[in-house]
Structure 1
Amino acid sequence: ETVDEFEGTTTVEAAKAFIERAFGIGDVISEPDAAAARGRATVRHVTPYLFVTKEVIYSESTLLHGLEKADKARDIIAAMPYFLRATDEASAIDERRLRQLQRALEKEEAKARSRAAAETALKQRATNLLTEAHRIGLAKSPSLDAPEATLLAELKTIGETPLQANTYPDEGELGALNRRRREILAEVSALRRHLQATRTALREATGFQGAVLRQRDKLMLAEHLHLDGIAEVCPVCEAPSERGREAARALRTTLTKVRAESVAVERVRPRLVEHDRALEEEIGQLNIELRRIDDQIQTWLRQSEETRRLADLGQLRAHLLGRISFFLEASVDEPRQATRDLSVLRAEIAELEARVDKEAKEIKLRRAEARISQFASEAFVALPTVAPCIGSELDFSSRQPEVTVIEEESGAVLRLPDVGSDQNYLAIHIALSFALQRYFQTVNAPVPGLLVLDQISRPYFPTSGEDEDEAEISGDEEDEDVQAMRKHIDFLFSETARRKGLQVLLIEHAYFADDPRYVNATRERWTRASGQALIPLNWPARGDE
């Protein structure tokens, strides 16, 4: 259909929904609440697999179109398992909802902890007043686990109690408090020694890990020496000698030992970190109890001083009742934060966790990544590359996502920044794009069989800018760059011929006039001589231009 044959106008959302139905995206009926449907795959998430733009085609940091923008990358990565057929749309929405609820639960629990900390001071003052009231016989001993509202209610009851003579503070209580204080200090001292020992072990483990990693990096050079091929003769006099092989065996033994030590450190270090955190929490709890004991001791001493200062116990009680009355009046003005029942939130999280099968998804993702890596490696071999990528394999991961290069002979693992050549980056992006398309066709994913490539000649002719005219290539003596370009063109034609339903749209400055396939496949030539362009020159410009 042409543009003129489309019927009427529509909204952006309706047009997107129409395109998604045409592509086969989505297996969940759309909900009227747009916020409830967040997390579902949309037509916007297909574009990374269709467009290899100028920002991506030979980039060392951006693997797919759209990942260079942080606000888009998160949704693209979240929707990738759906297009890889590792999950369906309903599960993807459940996973997103589960992550949202887990974050909400973390925030609510943090608020609850903050509320508890804010209420501690008020609760502590109320407990101190009740303790004083207990010592002079106005109330029973306060419970440490009683909520704030209960303590305030007890204080209010005391404030309404008529004065009656009773006993003075018990001397035995001060001794018990001091004994408990000494016990807490001893426990804190022991825990601090354990904490210091744990942190010393952590520092030593970290330093040892760094030393092991440096040793391993140095010993990794031995993999490039082909130790299995050491001859039994001296390389100088050619006399029989086992020293070379003995040295090789020693190197291999050392490398194995260093690797084992590195694994041991990685296994032990998290346990030390967890033990360190547990010790800090235990010390914190003991410090809280110590402050409470100190407050009670100070209260006892202050009350004893007040008892001696006041003429009789009746005056002491009257003085305490006045303090309680003042405290209750002041506490009325303090804001109260309503506590939220988190049981419903936890129940919904548990229900979603039961519906989301993460293990099955991980298995399917690993299988998809393995097949895409195989397809990409097969394509990578057919494309022009330079060292260290000649004959190498590609390993694809959807988690980041990222691609690593595995060297052919040494098996060394290279990240994209280590590849170090625009020609290699171009080959990696082309191989990955065709591998993804091949996989999508295999699993019948809702991704159109279309690749739009923007100037594969960029690494070979970097001086050609956006305003440069078409560069015609025909039959002259060719340098390595032109020959590499021809390999890319041969790859495009061979892949489109091999993959039924795959279409490649190439936007290119270079024009191979001596290649009949290229000439016949060219649909538009936007040159200065033709006066034509991708965006027609006679189109009206916006008013702000």
Structure 2
Amino acid sequence: MFFQIRAIVLWPRNPEFKPRRLLFDLGKVNVISGASRTGKSAVIPIIDYCLGSSTCSIPVNTIRKYCEWFGVVVATDQGDKLLARREPGAQRSTDDMFLMEADRITEVPLRIVKNTNADTVKRLLDDLAGLSKLDFTGGDDSAGFDGRPSFRDLAAFTFQPQNIVANPDVLFFKANTYEHREKLRKIFPYVLGAVTPALMAKQFELGRTRQELRRKERELKDAQQVSARWLADLMVKFSEAQELGLTSKLEQQPTRGQMIELLEEVVARTDLTLSVSTSTISDALRELSGLDTEEREVSRELTTLRHRLEEMNRMSSGVDQYEAAIGLQRGRLKLSSWLVAHTDGAADCPMCGSHTDSAKRKLEVLSARLQEVEAEAGVDKEVPAAFDRELQRVTAEVGQATERLRSVQIRKRALSGRSKEASERQFAAKKAERFVGNLESALDLHRSLGSDSDLIDEVARLRETVQRLEAELREQDVDSRKRRALLAVNTHAGRLLPFLDVENADDPISLEISDLTIKVRGAERDDYLSEIGSGSNWLSYHLAMLLALHQFYLAQPSSPVPGFMVLDQPSQVYFPKRVVTRPDEEVEEPLFRDEDIDAVRKAFEVMGQVVLKAEGKLQLIVLDHASRDVWGDIPGVVGLREWRDGVKLVPMKWLNEA
């Protein structure tokens, strides 16, 4: 991934000053050399913060006190992008960010305001890196160690601060914390190219298909169990229908389809009472059968008559209610006739005696309305005599039908008591009716449960898909791809070690992903980095492995890892470090011995060679005490103005005028 730092920008809190810009060369080893307490160690936290870090690690006091915004200009395949983030104040961080994009950013705004947030910038960086939208569990919404790879995870390969660059226990940025270490272990196969986005998509599809297959297999198993019970129940229903005489007995055992067809015929029949009779039925049984038929007919007739009688009673009640309403209106309007009777020619209003047209008109309206109501009430509104005769007839017929029904029921009880056979046949008929009612609903259920052929076909299709995906994933052989990638990285590192200040430079080394450290394979034993002494060894192994990883990433068709790395104080192992100094005490510059200068120079020469070989695709930024005398004439290495004699990250005039 082409992603390099073109500039670092600081915006002062005092608007009278212009922003401070540090310009870097792309595809080179950029060295910021200077004395202690000049702000060199703030460069990594500034870049990290502007690239979406969850916390602000920029040193407090001077830098954060006099700077309002921090920014980086990055060069990408899609042009330059200025990413700036507000100083968080008392908070651990802030989401306030500023984003500017252009083909080439040569000038930056004098003052900026928030126009985006940290989450948006993180998504932009993820897209620039071409990272997969899927997580490592085959989904797209998991969190934690199995969450999708992000640009923030790749910071492990881009920063080597003072506490990491020569650390025997920690090889990668922030790998000293549990959560970062576990996530780095998870994404390593991905950044090595052993697990590709296409492969993750296949793993996701395989996981989803397996889950669907398990669900369908459970459904099929349940359906098959239901099918076995269904067939047994079907045979019981068919046998019971034969016992009740609803279907004839067959010489051979019928198939499932034949049983369903015969039972459906039973449901469709309407002569169930007759079907249970035989040619040898007794006279009493015939009479009882006839009484059953008569009882059903009388019941239907009685229901119809009762419904008609209820409707006629409601109509009669409605007529009475109408007459009462008319009478009420007429009583209320009687006042108008009394008022008309008490008017004379001298006055229009019977109440006050005044002459007003409105009073006269209103009195006329009331009088006219009374006449209409009285005329309507005078019309014969009584129900016609034919209605009363029909009501009496229907009432009489209801009584007659009730008596007929009661008579039939009395005869049935008497006949059933006299004839045991009739009683048994009557019970059989009722049983047959209940059986047919149950059979109809049972057949509907059996039809739905018995049709599982579509489910069988779907399970077979899913199994075939799972087998195909498993075969494709086996062909990818992630473990073999990972071993080959690590072999290439180890080979690159082994070629760089002889040019660095390290003991036993010919001993093969290997990157151990599970432990996130380096193993040195000696003639007699293998040693981890933490088991090897000397700071020069630790520095050399760090440089060799990190540079080897970037060489490997650049050789990949589309690696997501940014093409830059920042190293802070790689030469610190060659001079003693003053742990405690007084605020007013002058900090002495470290004195290098000749052999120390040679060792430091070797490190810069290796970095210069790697960068030149990358042909502009890799950029290194080195923050160090070593002056230009050590690295000044090395190919591929360039330097900014040295931070000495008052030259610092934050200009002195910001401090003096604030």
TM value normalised by structure 2? 0.38
Bigger helix share? 1
Bigger strand share? 2
TM value normalised by structure 1? 0.46
- Bigger relative contact order, structure 1 or 2 (CA pairs below 8 A, ≥6 apart): 2
- Of structures 1 and 2, the larger Rg is shown by 2
